[in-house]
Chain A
Protein backbone atom coordinates (compact mmCIF):
# COMPACT_ATOMS: atom_id res chain seq x y z
CA UNK A 1 0.00 0.00 0.00
CA UNK A 2 2.77 2.33 0.93
CA UNK A 3 4.63 1.81 -2.35
CA UNK A 4 1.47 2.58 -4.32
CA UNK A 5 1.19 5.87 -2.48
CA UNK A 6 4.80 6.71 -3.20
CA UNK A 7 4.42 5.92 -6.89
CA UNK A 8 1.27 8.04 -7.14
CA UNK A 9 3.07 10.89 -5.41
CA UNK A 10 5.99 10.67 -7.84
CA UNK A 11 3.61 10.69 -10.81
CA UNK A 12 1.80 13.69 -9.42
CA UNK A 13 5.04 15.60 -8.91
CA UNK A 14 6.17 14.70 -12.43
CA UNK A 15 2.82 15.80 -13.89
CA UNK A 16 2.98 19.14 -12.12
CA UNK A 17 6.65 19.49 -13.00
CA UNK A 18 6.22 19.07 -16.77
CA UNK A 19 3.64 21.86 -16.82
CA UNK A 20 6.47 24.34 -16.34
CA UNK A 21 8.49 23.30 -19.36
CA UNK A 22 8.22 26.04 -21.99
CA UNK A 23 6.87 25.19 -25.45
CA UNK A 24 6.63 27.02 -28.74
CA UNK A 25 3.17 27.87 -29.93
CA UNK A 26 2.34 27.99 -33.62
CA UNK A 27 0.56 31.32 -33.98
CA UNK A 28 0.75 34.27 -36.30
CA UNK A 29 -1.47 37.33 -36.92
CA UNK A 30 -0.53 37.78 -40.54
CA UNK A 31 -1.25 35.63 -43.55
CA UNK A 32 1.67 35.95 -46.00
CA UNK A 33 1.14 36.72 -49.69
CA UNK A 34 2.40 33.25 -50.50
CA UNK A 35 -0.63 31.62 -48.87
CA UNK A 36 -2.40 28.92 -50.91
CA UNK A 37 -5.77 30.66 -50.68
CA UNK A 38 -4.33 34.05 -51.68
CA UNK A 39 -2.25 32.68 -54.56
CA UNK A 40 -4.99 30.51 -56.04
CA UNK A 41 -8.53 31.37 -56.87
CA UNK A 42 -10.10 29.10 -54.25
CA UNK A 43 -13.92 28.89 -54.08
CA UNK A 44 -15.35 30.04 -50.73
CA UNK A 45 -16.63 26.63 -49.61
CA UNK A 46 -13.30 24.94 -50.28
CA UNK A 47 -11.46 27.79 -48.63
CA UNK A 48 -13.48 27.31 -45.45
CA UNK A 49 -12.97 23.56 -45.54
CA UNK A 50 -9.21 23.91 -45.92
CA UNK A 51 -9.04 26.29 -42.98
CA UNK A 52 -11.14 24.07 -40.74
CA UNK A 53 -9.65 20.71 -41.76
CA UNK A 54 -6.04 21.42 -42.71
CA UNK A 55 -4.70 24.76 -41.55
CA UNK A 56 -4.32 23.85 -37.87
CA UNK A 57 -1.33 21.65 -38.70
CA UNK A 58 -0.39 22.85 -42.17
CA UNK A 59 -0.02 26.61 -41.68
CA UNK A 60 1.67 29.09 -39.35
CA UNK A 61 -1.47 29.61 -37.34
CA UNK A 62 -3.14 26.97 -35.17
CA UNK A 63 -6.51 27.47 -33.48
CA UNK A 64 -5.58 25.76 -30.27
CA UNK A 65 -8.13 23.93 -28.13
CA UNK A 66 -8.23 24.78 -24.39
CA UNK A 67 -6.60 21.47 -23.39
CA UNK A 68 -3.49 22.43 -25.29
CA UNK A 69 -2.48 24.27 -22.13
CA UNK A 70 -2.01 20.94 -20.35
CA UNK A 71 1.12 18.84 -20.72
CA UNK A 72 1.80 16.30 -22.21
CA UNK A 73 -0.96 17.30 -24.68
CA UNK A 74 1.03 20.38 -25.69
CA UNK A 75 3.97 18.22 -26.77
CA UNK A 76 1.78 15.84 -28.65
CA UNK A 77 0.21 18.69 -30.64
CA UNK A 78 3.52 20.49 -31.10
CA UNK A 79 5.01 17.40 -32.72
CA UNK A 80 2.07 16.93 -35.03
CA UNK A 81 2.16 20.54 -36.14
CA UNK A 82 5.90 20.47 -36.72
CA UNK A 83 5.64 17.34 -38.81
CA UNK A 84 2.59 18.64 -40.66
CA UNK A 85 4.29 21.89 -41.59
CA UNK A 86 7.44 20.17 -42.78
CA UNK A 87 5.37 18.10 -45.21
CA UNK A 88 3.20 20.98 -46.37
CA UNK A 89 2.75 24.56 -45.22
CA UNK A 90 -0.17 26.22 -47.03
CA UNK A 91 1.13 29.64 -45.97
CA UNK A 92 4.29 29.11 -48.03
CA UNK A 93 2.63 27.72 -51.13
CA UNK A 94 3.79 30.51 -53.42
CA UNK A 95 7.44 29.75 -52.67
CA UNK A 96 7.26 26.31 -54.28
CA UNK A 97 8.30 25.59 -57.87
CA UNK A 98 5.71 24.15 -60.25
CA UNK A 99 7.29 20.72 -59.92
CA UNK A 100 7.02 20.84 -56.14
CA UNK A 101 3.45 22.17 -56.33
CA UNK A 102 2.39 19.29 -58.57
CA UNK A 103 3.96 16.79 -56.19
CA UNK A 104 2.21 18.35 -53.22
CA UNK A 105 -1.16 18.55 -55.00
CA UNK A 106 -0.84 14.91 -55.87
CA UNK A 107 -0.12 13.99 -52.28
CA UNK A 108 -3.06 16.09 -51.07
CA UNK A 109 -5.40 14.22 -53.41
CA UNK A 110 -4.07 10.81 -52.35
CA UNK A 111 -4.22 11.62 -48.66
CA UNK A 112 -7.81 12.86 -48.79
CA UNK A 113 -8.99 10.10 -51.13
CA UNK A 114 -7.57 7.37 -48.92
CA UNK A 115 -8.93 9.04 -45.79
CA UNK A 116 -5.49 9.28 -44.22
CA UNK A 117 -5.93 13.01 -43.80
CA UNK A 118 -7.24 14.63 -41.73
CA UNK A 119 -5.88 12.32 -39.05
CA UNK A 120 -8.35 10.27 -37.03
CA UNK A 121 -6.90 11.68 -33.82
CA UNK A 122 -7.80 15.12 -35.13
CA UNK A 123 -11.32 14.45 -36.43
CA UNK A 124 -12.14 12.63 -33.19
CA UNK A 125 -12.34 16.02 -31.53
CA UNK A 126 -12.79 18.28 -34.55
CA UNK A 127 -15.93 16.71 -36.01
CA UNK A 128 -16.30 19.49 -38.55
CA UNK A 129 -12.91 18.67 -40.02
CA UNK A 130 -14.20 15.42 -41.50
CA UNK A 131 -14.77 15.31 -45.25
CA UNK A 132 -18.20 14.23 -46.46
CA UNK A 133 -18.40 12.36 -49.73
CA UNK A 134 -19.49 15.51 -51.53
CA UNK A 135 -16.77 17.62 -49.94
CA UNK A 136 -14.18 15.05 -50.91
CA UNK A 137 -15.32 15.15 -54.53
CA UNK A 138 -15.41 18.94 -54.57
CA UNK A 139 -11.93 19.37 -53.24
CA UNK A 140 -10.42 16.66 -55.41
CA UNK A 141 -11.98 18.22 -58.52
CA UNK A 142 -10.55 21.57 -57.53
CA UNK A 143 -7.07 20.21 -56.78
CA UNK A 144 -7.02 18.22 -60.05
CA UNK A 145 -7.97 21.33 -62.00
CA UNK A 146 -5.28 23.32 -60.28
CA UNK A 147 -2.69 20.63 -60.98
CA UNK A 148 -3.60 20.52 -64.67
CA UNK A 149 -3.32 24.30 -64.93
CA UNK A 150 0.32 24.24 -63.75
Chain B
Protein backbone atom coordinates (compact mmCIF):
# COMPACT_ATOMS: atom_id res chain seq x y z
CA UNK B 1 0.00 0.00 0.00
CA UNK B 2 2.72 2.41 1.01
CA UNK B 3 4.68 1.53 -2.08
CA UNK B 4 1.71 2.37 -4.24
CA UNK B 5 1.32 5.79 -2.63
CA UNK B 6 4.97 6.57 -3.11
CA UNK B 7 4.86 5.65 -6.76
CA UNK B 8 1.72 7.76 -7.32
CA UNK B 9 3.40 10.79 -5.78
CA UNK B 10 6.51 10.18 -7.85
CA UNK B 11 4.43 9.96 -11.01
CA UNK B 12 2.65 13.23 -10.20
CA UNK B 13 5.93 15.00 -9.56
CA UNK B 14 7.28 13.74 -12.84
CA UNK B 15 4.23 14.99 -14.74
CA UNK B 16 4.39 18.41 -13.08
CA UNK B 17 8.06 18.89 -13.86
CA UNK B 18 7.54 17.72 -17.42
CA UNK B 19 4.74 20.21 -18.17
CA UNK B 20 6.79 22.90 -16.49
CA UNK B 21 9.71 22.19 -18.79
CA UNK B 22 7.40 22.35 -21.79
CA UNK B 23 6.14 25.77 -20.74
CA UNK B 24 9.71 27.01 -20.58
CA UNK B 25 10.44 25.53 -23.96
CA UNK B 26 7.47 27.45 -25.34
CA UNK B 27 8.72 30.71 -23.85
CA UNK B 28 12.14 30.23 -25.42
CA UNK B 29 10.46 29.55 -28.69
CA UNK B 30 8.56 32.83 -28.47
CA UNK B 31 11.76 34.74 -27.87
CA UNK B 32 13.35 33.02 -30.84
CA UNK B 33 10.42 33.87 -33.07
CA UNK B 34 10.72 37.56 -32.31
CA UNK B 35 13.92 37.89 -34.23
CA UNK B 36 12.84 40.62 -36.52
CA UNK B 37 14.47 43.54 -34.78
CA UNK B 38 12.56 46.09 -36.80
CA UNK B 39 9.74 48.36 -35.82
CA UNK B 40 7.31 46.10 -37.73
CA UNK B 41 7.88 43.40 -35.11
CA UNK B 42 7.03 45.86 -32.35
CA UNK B 43 3.92 46.95 -34.22
CA UNK B 44 2.80 43.38 -34.83
CA UNK B 45 2.89 42.66 -31.11
CA UNK B 46 1.28 45.96 -30.27
CA UNK B 47 -1.67 45.03 -32.51
CA UNK B 48 -1.95 41.54 -31.00
CA UNK B 49 -2.13 43.17 -27.58
CA UNK B 50 -4.73 45.61 -28.86
CA UNK B 51 -6.85 42.74 -30.20
CA UNK B 52 -6.70 41.05 -26.82
CA UNK B 53 -8.02 44.21 -25.14
CA UNK B 54 -10.73 44.62 -27.77
CA UNK B 55 -11.80 41.05 -26.95
CA UNK B 56 -11.70 41.75 -23.18
CA UNK B 57 -9.20 38.91 -22.92
CA UNK B 58 -6.93 39.62 -19.94
CA UNK B 59 -4.99 36.39 -20.22
CA UNK B 60 -4.14 36.93 -23.86
CA UNK B 61 -3.20 40.54 -23.10
CA UNK B 62 -0.80 39.26 -20.44
CA UNK B 63 0.91 37.03 -23.00
CA UNK B 64 0.98 39.66 -25.71
CA UNK B 65 2.30 42.23 -23.23
CA UNK B 66 5.23 39.93 -22.53
CA UNK B 67 5.94 39.40 -26.22
CA UNK B 68 5.74 43.11 -26.92
CA UNK B 69 8.21 43.71 -24.11
CA UNK B 70 10.65 41.25 -25.69
CA UNK B 71 10.30 42.80 -29.15
CA UNK B 72 11.00 46.25 -27.69
CA UNK B 73 14.05 45.01 -25.83
CA UNK B 74 15.62 43.45 -28.94
CA UNK B 75 14.83 46.44 -31.15
CA UNK B 76 17.93 47.30 -33.17
CA UNK B 77 19.01 50.93 -32.75
CA UNK B 78 21.97 50.51 -35.08
CA UNK B 79 20.60 52.35 -38.12
CA UNK B 80 19.78 55.62 -36.42
CA UNK B 81 21.67 58.82 -35.68
CA UNK B 82 22.94 59.40 -32.18
CA UNK B 83 20.18 61.86 -31.42
CA UNK B 84 17.50 59.49 -32.69
CA UNK B 85 19.04 56.68 -30.69
CA UNK B 86 18.72 58.67 -27.49
CA UNK B 87 15.08 59.52 -28.19
CA UNK B 88 14.28 55.94 -29.12
CA UNK B 89 16.05 54.50 -26.08
CA UNK B 90 13.97 56.76 -23.86
CA UNK B 91 10.71 55.81 -25.60
CA UNK B 92 11.59 52.12 -25.45
CA UNK B 93 12.47 52.26 -21.75
CA UNK B 94 9.08 53.79 -21.05
CA UNK B 95 7.20 51.40 -23.34
CA UNK B 96 8.92 48.37 -21.81
CA UNK B 97 7.73 49.42 -18.39
CA UNK B 98 4.13 49.75 -19.55
CA UNK B 99 4.26 46.43 -21.41
CA UNK B 100 5.65 44.82 -18.28
CA UNK B 101 2.80 46.18 -16.18
CA UNK B 102 0.33 44.92 -18.76
CA UNK B 103 1.88 41.48 -18.47
CA UNK B 104 1.08 41.33 -14.76
CA UNK B 105 -2.16 43.29 -14.23
CA UNK B 106 -5.94 42.91 -14.40
CA UNK B 107 -7.70 44.44 -17.42
CA UNK B 108 -8.51 47.94 -16.07
CA UNK B 109 -4.82 48.43 -15.36
CA UNK B 110 -3.86 46.94 -18.68
CA UNK B 111 -5.99 49.53 -20.44
CA UNK B 112 -4.52 52.40 -18.42
CA UNK B 113 -1.05 51.35 -19.43
CA UNK B 114 -2.11 50.71 -23.01
CA UNK B 115 -2.98 54.38 -23.31
CA UNK B 116 0.56 55.57 -22.57
CA UNK B 117 2.02 52.67 -24.47
CA UNK B 118 0.06 53.82 -27.54
CA UNK B 119 1.60 57.26 -27.20
CA UNK B 120 5.07 55.72 -26.93
CA UNK B 121 4.59 53.55 -30.01
CA UNK B 122 3.18 56.51 -31.97
CA UNK B 123 6.24 58.59 -31.06
CA UNK B 124 8.48 55.68 -31.92
CA UNK B 125 7.20 55.29 -35.46
CA UNK B 126 7.33 59.06 -35.92
CA UNK B 127 11.11 58.55 -35.75
CA UNK B 128 11.54 55.15 -37.39
CA UNK B 129 8.81 55.39 -40.00
CA UNK B 130 7.01 52.21 -41.05
CA UNK B 131 5.95 50.41 -44.18
CA UNK B 132 2.62 49.52 -42.57
CA UNK B 133 -0.31 51.81 -43.31
CA UNK B 134 -1.69 53.05 -40.00
CA UNK B 135 -4.64 54.97 -38.64
CA UNK B 136 -4.65 56.87 -35.41
CA UNK B 137 -8.02 56.52 -33.73
CA UNK B 138 -9.41 58.49 -30.85
CA UNK B 139 -12.02 57.89 -28.19
CA UNK B 140 -13.07 61.10 -26.40
CA UNK B 141 -14.65 59.21 -23.51
CA UNK B 142 -11.88 57.09 -22.02
CA UNK B 143 -9.80 58.94 -19.41
CA UNK B 144 -10.37 62.41 -20.84
CA UNK B 145 -9.69 61.29 -24.40
CA UNK B 146 -7.36 58.51 -25.51
CA UNK B 147 -5.76 57.53 -28.81
CA UNK B 148 -4.57 54.23 -30.25
CA UNK B 149 -3.15 52.91 -33.50
CA UNK B 150 -4.91 50.59 -35.88
CA UNK B 151 -4.25 48.90 -39.22
CA UNK B 152 -7.80 49.40 -40.42
CA UNK B 153 -10.24 52.31 -40.58
CA UNK B 154 -12.84 50.34 -38.71
CA UNK B 155 -13.13 51.40 -35.06
CA UNK B 156 -12.66 48.65 -32.47
CA UNK B 157 -12.13 50.27 -29.12
CA UNK B 158 -9.44 48.60 -26.97
CA UNK B 159 -10.25 50.76 -23.93
CA UNK B 160 -13.85 49.60 -23.63
CA UNK B 161 -13.94 46.32 -25.53
CA UNK B 162 -17.42 44.81 -25.86
CA UNK B 163 -18.85 47.49 -23.57
CA UNK B 164 -18.48 50.22 -26.19
CA UNK B 165 -16.72 48.66 -29.12
CA UNK B 166 -17.58 51.37 -31.62
CA UNK B 167 -16.73 54.41 -29.51
CA UNK B 168 -14.23 56.59 -31.35
CA UNK B 169 -13.19 57.73 -34.79
CA UNK B 170 -10.20 57.94 -37.12
CA UNK B 171 -8.22 61.04 -36.27
CA UNK B 172 -5.23 60.74 -38.53
CA UNK B 173 -3.76 58.66 -41.37
CA UNK B 174 -0.15 57.68 -40.80
Contacts and interface: CB of A to CB of B under 8 A. Distances in A.
Interface stretch (B39-47, B89-97, B131-139, B151-159): B89-97
A103 B94 contact: yes
Contacts of A100: 90, 93-94
Main SS of chain B's interface residues? helix
Contacts of A97: 90
Interface in A77-118: 97, 99-100, 102-103, 106, 110
Contacts of B93: 100
A98 to B, nearest CB: 9
Contacts of B94: 99-100, 103
A103 B91 contact: no
B56 interface: no
B90 A103 contact: no
B68 to A, nearest CB: 16
A103 B98 CA distance: 9
A103 B112 contact: no
Contacts, number: 15
Contacts of B120: 99
A102 B97 CA distance: 13
A99 B94 CA distance: 7
A106 B116 contact: yes
Interface in B78-108: 90-91, 93-94, 97-98
Contacts of B91: 99
A137 B112 CA distance: 20
Contacts of A106: 116
B89 to A, nearest CB: 9
Nearest to B89: A97
Interface of B: 90-91, 93-94, 97-98, 112, 116, 120
Given A99-B91, A100-B90, 12 more contacts: A97-B90, A99-B90, A99-B94, A99-B120, A100-B93, A100-B94, A102-B116, A103-B97, A103-B98, A103-B116, A106-B116, A110-B112
Interface of A: 97, 99-100, 102-103, 106, 110
15 contacts: A97-B90, A99-B90, A99-B91, A99-B94, A99-B120, A100-B90, A100-B93, A100-B94, A102-B116, A103-B94, A103-B97, A103-B98, A103-B116, A106-B116, A110-B112
